[in-house]
Amino acid sequence: MRRSTTESPALQIVLIAIALLFLAFFLALPLVAVFGEALKAGFGPFLNAVTAPDALSAIKLTLLIAAISVPLNVVFGVAASWAITKFQFPGKSLLISLIDLPFSVSPVVSGLIFVLLFGANGWFGPWLAEHDLKIIFAVPGIVLATVFITFPFVARELIPLMMEQGKDEEEAAISLGASGWQTFRHVTLPNIRWGLLYGVLLCNARAMGEFGAVSVVSGHIRGETNTMPLHVEILYNEYDFVGAFAVASLLAGLALVTLIAKTVLEWRFNLHGSARH
């Protein structure tokens, strides 16, 4: 006899099968296709594609962008989470909704905003031209757009986590004479390290993979303002499919690493007894 709160084994199997089929078809298949197309012509062309000079500079730029945006957003994310979860102040929920804003705005619109602000005909355009500074169609623009897009990731991971942990431990530390910074380093940081790591992972994955916003602000200048995702688009539009998929597979590989690291982190998280999401 089965328990009153489960379905029949037959139904369970059917439901699991449908779910697995759906996931395999809609999610896994595209991933497989990336690697399949990349290696279609063999390993040689694949290697050539990823070591071509334009590809290499795209890779370098992508790494640079990530190296700048991620730490910036970590600092912000930690500061915002600390402010939101350890204190009471008016406008707290407004702050939280604002943090989520980049998520609900189309990446293209995000890019548009920066063009309106810093483009040649934008508000700051003339001023920038005067001082010989280029933001749009140059690397600073890409950094700015990426920072905007990836800005919620760290905060969104930390806020629920820190809310759940409460402030008892920090208050205890303060009462024992620790300073703000000491409390943060020795009490808060160890408690949030897994969530922080996870937020950094997601932030990084998005920073390296952002396409829409960066496409608008970059000007697609090969060798200079091309990130890896943009380079994929260029190659694809030139019908260099193997090349496009080759570079794409590097990004897909990054995605896999992110997923694996995330799974490992979640597993360790559960071991430490903290709830996830």
Footprint of another protein on 62-101 (CB under 8 A): 75-76, 79-80, 82-84, 86-90, 95, 98-99, 101
**Interaction residues for another protein, span 38-67 (CB under 8 A):** none
* Shortest Å distance, C-beta 251 to another protein: 5
For position 239 contacting another protein by CB under 8 A, the verdict is no
What does the alpha-carbon distance between residue 127 and residue 62 come to, in Å, rounded to a whole number?
Answer: 28
Window contacting another protein (CB under 8 A); options: 41-49, 51-59, 126-134, 250-258: 250-258
The answer to whether the CB of 204 falls within 8 A of the CB of 70 is yes
For position 148 contacting another protein by CB under 8 A, the verdict is yes
For position 28 contacting another protein by CB under 8 A, the verdict is yes
What does the alpha-carbon distance between residue 203 and residue 200 come to, in Å, rounded to a whole number?
Answer: 5
The answer to whether the CB of 225 falls within 8 A of the CB of 212 is no
For position 269 contacting another protein by CB under 8 A, the verdict is no
For position 31 contacting another protein by CB under 8 A, the verdict is yes
The answer to whether the CB of 157 falls within 8 A of the CB of 199 is yes
Q: Which one among 42, 93, 177, 181 touches another protein, defined by CB under 8 A?
A: 181
DSSP assignment letter at 120: T
> The tokens 């760290």 sit on which residue?
154
* Shortest Å distance, C-beta 189 to another protein: 13
> The tokens 């290697």 sit on which residue?
47
